[in-house]
Amino acid sequence: MTTIADNLARIRDRIAAACAKAGRDPAGVTLVAVSKLNPAEAVIEALAAGQTVFGENRVQEAQSKFPALRATHPDLRLHIIGGLQTNKARDAVEVADVIESLDRPRLAASLAAAIKATGRTPGLMVQVNTGDEPQKAGIPRAEAEAFCNTCRDEYGLTLSGLMCIPPAEADPAPHFAFLADLAARQNLPLLSMGMSGDFETAIALGATHVRVGTAIFGSRVPGG
């Protein structure tokens, strides 16, 4: 049976190969291990294998696992990658190092207030709904550029990058290319794009962060 360490080694090898093919330095791509629905014990296994950056969808789950782990692993970094409710903005600011799912003005306002109240300044990425899918979080692609400007100009937020999740059945390349072009126009250095099945394509198109869960931790709990 493969272990989390084995899986991490395979993913790192794939990242290195994709970077070599794209003429990129592997140090420029951060692996975000998506630990949602996995217990703290699985995160500890990954930490023992040298993984330090993790992603969680739900703030409440992140709060239950990561504060205790930080005490023994001060280099741990946590990304919130799931849709974020405005009433969870302060909790997210308090627990996360990066919030990847900023996608609407009300959330921008809530995050700005939480940052001011707590003094914590997590990295902020705007999530773009590149497929304009009604069931999916993210600012519509036609509104994304104006929203980035609004986040800065009206809410005083410092943005670090963009994130997207392309439609499941679509060719992800045009979606990744759109995000990379928008990031360049907005002078945003970070691109979180690519998951277990398509992160090599994302790396070829400029991803700085790839989010991998199942290929590291195995299948998640059904219905979770």
Query: Residue 119 pLDDT more than 80?
Result: yes
Stretch 4-26: mean pLDDT, rounded?
98
Of 19 and 220, which is predicted with more confidence?
19
Q: Does domain 4-217 have CATH number 3.20.20.10?
A: yes
Q: How far is CA 64 from CA 56, 58, 68, 91, 123, in A?
A: 11, 10, 8, 12, 21
Distance CA 172, CA 138 (A): 16
Those residues whose C-beta lies under 8 Å from the C-beta of residue 166, and which sit 6 or more positions away, are 130, 131, 172, 175, 176, 193, 198
Question: How do residues 137-159 score in pLDDT, each as one tens digit?
Answer: 999 999 999 999 999 999 999 99
Indicate the domain borders of the chain. 4-217
Distance CA 130, CA 141 (A): 5
What are the DSSP calls for 110-175, one per residue? Answer: HHHHHHHHH----EEEEEEETT--TTS-SEEGGGHHHHHHHHHHTT-PPP-EEEE---TTS-HHHH
Is-contact 137 167, C-beta < 8 A? no
pLDDT at residue 1, rounded to an integer:
73
What are the DSSP calls for 3-15, one per residue? Answer: -HHHHHHHHHHHH
Tokens 């190092």 found at: 97
pLDDT band at residue 223 under the 50/70/90 scheme: very low
Question: How do residues 40-61 score in pLDDT, each as one tens digit?
Answer: 999 999 999 999 999 999 999 9
pLDDT band at residue 97 under the 50/70/90 scheme: very high
Distance CA 107, CA 113 (A): 10
pLDDT at residue 120, rounded to an integer:
97
Query: Largest Cα–Cα distance of the chain, in whole Å?
Result: 52
Stretch 168-174: mean pLDDT, rounded?
96
Q: What is the mean pLDDT of the chain?
A: 96
Stretch 33-41: mean pLDDT, rounded?
95
Crossing angle of helices 144-153 and 172-186, in 10° steps, is 30
